[in-house]
Chains A and B, each alone.
Chain A
Amino acid sequence: MSRRISPVIPGFGLTLGYTLVYLSLLVLIPLGAMFVHASQLSWGEFWAVISAPRVLAALKLSFGTALAAALLNGVIGTLLAWVLVRYPFPGRKVIDAMIDLPFALPTAVAGIALTALYAPAGPVGQLAGEFGLKLAYTPLGIALALTFVTLPFVVRTLQPVLEDIPREIEEAAACLGANPWQTFRHVLLPALLPAWLTGFALAFARGIGEYGSVIFIAGNMPGKTEILPLLIMVKLDQYDYTGATSIGVLMLVVSFALLLPLNLLQRRIETP
Chain B
Amino acid sequence: MSSITLSAAASANAARRGNALGRRLLIGAAWLVFAVFLLLPLYVVLSEALKLGFGTFFDALLEPDALSALTLTLLAVGVSVPLNLVFGLAAAWCVSKYEFPGKSLLVTLIDLPFSVSPVIAGLIYVLLFGAQGVFGEWLTEHDIQIVFALPGIVLATIFVTVPFVARELIPLMQEQGTQEEEAARLLGANGWQMFWHVTLPNIKWGLIYGVVLCTARAMGEFGAVSVVSGHIRGFTNTLPLHVEILYNEYNHVAAFSVASLLLLLALVILLLKQWSEARLSRLKSNAAEE
A and B touch in the complex (CB under 8 A): yes
Q: Which residues of A does B touch, CB under 8 Å?
A: 1-6, 8-12, 14-16, 18-20, 22-23, 26-28, 30-31, 33-34, 37, 76, 79-80, 82-84, 87, 89, 91, 95, 97-110, 112-114, 116-117, 122-124, 147-148, 151, 180, 202, 205-206, 208-212, 216, 228-230, 232-233, 236, 239, 241, 244-245, 248, 251-252, 255-256, 259
Interface size on B, residues (CB 8 A): 95
Q: Verify B101–A1 contact, CB threshold 8 A.
A: yes
Q: Verify A15–B120 contact, CB threshold 8 A.
A: no
Q: Verify B270–A18 contact, CB threshold 8 A.
A: no
Closest 8 CB pairs of A and B: A209-B117, A106-B220, A212-B222, A211-B223, A229-B119, A10-B191, A104-B266, A2-B100
Q: Verify A26–B159 contact, CB threshold 8 A.
A: yes
A151 to B40, CA, bound (A): 15
- A216 smallest CB distance to B (angstroms): 7
Q: Verify B134–A33 contact, CB threshold 8 A.
A: yes
Question: Which residues of A are found within 8 Å of B90, using beta-carbon distances?
Answer: 14-15, 18-19, 22
- B263 smallest CB distance to A (angstroms): 6
Q: Verify B247–A216 contact, CB threshold 8 A.
A: yes
Known: A95-B30, A95-B34, A106-B266. A112 touches B256 (CB 8 A): yes
Known: A33-B128, A79-B26, A206-B114. A108 touches B243 (CB 8 A): yes
A123 to B240, CA, bound (A): 24
State the majority secondary structure of interface residues on A: helix
A89 to B87, CA, bound (A): 41
A211 to B220, CA, bound (A): 12
B137 contacts partner chain A, Cβ-Cβ < 8 Å: no
- A96 smallest CB distance to B (angstroms): 9
Nearest CB to that of B155 among chain A residues? Answer: A26
A4 to B114, CA, bound (A): 29
Q: Verify B222–A211 contact, CB threshold 8 A.
A: yes
Question: Which residues of A are found within 8 Å of B106, using beta-carbon distances?
Answer: 19-20
Q: Verify B94–A106 contact, CB threshold 8 A.
A: no
B60 contacts partner chain A, Cβ-Cβ < 8 Å: no
Most chain A CB within 10 A, of B38, B119, B223, B239, is at: B119
Nearest CB to that of B216 among chain A residues? Answer: A104
Q: Which of B214-231 contact A (CB under 8 A)?
A: 216-217, 219-223, 226-227
Q: Verify A16–B100 contact, CB threshold 8 A.
A: yes
A151 to B56, CA, bound (A): 33
A141 to B66, CA, bound (A): 29
20 examples of A-B residue contacts, CB within 8 angstroms: A6-B182, A8-B182, A9-B98, A11-B97, A11-B195, A12-B97, A22-B87, A102-B38, A103-B217, A105-B220, A106-B266, A109-B243, A113-B45, A124-B40, A151-B38, A180-B19, A212-B226, A216-B247, A236-B126, A239-B132
A159 to B240, CA, bound (A): 31
A18 to B88, CA, bound (A): 10
Question: Which residues of B are found within 8 Å of A259, using beta-carbon distances?
Answer: 115
Say which residue of A26, A83, A104, A205 sits within 8 Å of B162 (CB atoms).
A26
Say which residue of A26, A148, A206, A241 sits within 8 Å of B37 (CB atoms).
A148
Known: A84-B30, A104-B269, A241-B127. A28 touches B93 (CB 8 A): no
- Mask, B105-120, CB within 8 Å of A = 1, is 0100110111111111
A101 to B263, CA, bound (A): 9
Q: Which residues of B does A touch, CB under 8 Å?
A: 18-19, 22-23, 26-27, 29-31, 33-34, 36-42, 44-45, 48, 86-87, 89-91, 93-94, 97-101, 106, 109-110, 112-120, 123-128, 130, 132, 134, 155, 158-159, 162, 178, 181-182, 185-186, 191, 194-195, 213, 216-217, 219-223, 226-227, 239-241, 243-244, 247, 252, 255-256, 259, 262-263, 266-267, 269-271, 273-274
A109 to B73, CA, bound (A): 15
Q: Verify A79–B44 contact, CB threshold 8 A.
A: no
Q: Verify A27–B112 contact, CB threshold 8 A.
A: yes
Question: Which residues of B are found within 8 Å of A3, using beta-carbon distances?
Answer: 99
- A68 smallest CB distance to B (angstroms): 15
Question: Which residues of A are found within 8 Å of B100, using beta-carbon distances?
Answer: 2, 12, 16
Question: Which residues of B are found within 8 Å of A209, using beta-carbon distances?
Answer: 115-120, 223
Question: Which residues of B are found within 8 Å of A100, using beta-carbon distances?
Answer: 270, 273
Q: Verify A5–B223 contact, CB threshold 8 A.
A: no
Known: A104-B270, A211-B117, A211-B118. A244 touches B123 (CB 8 A): yes
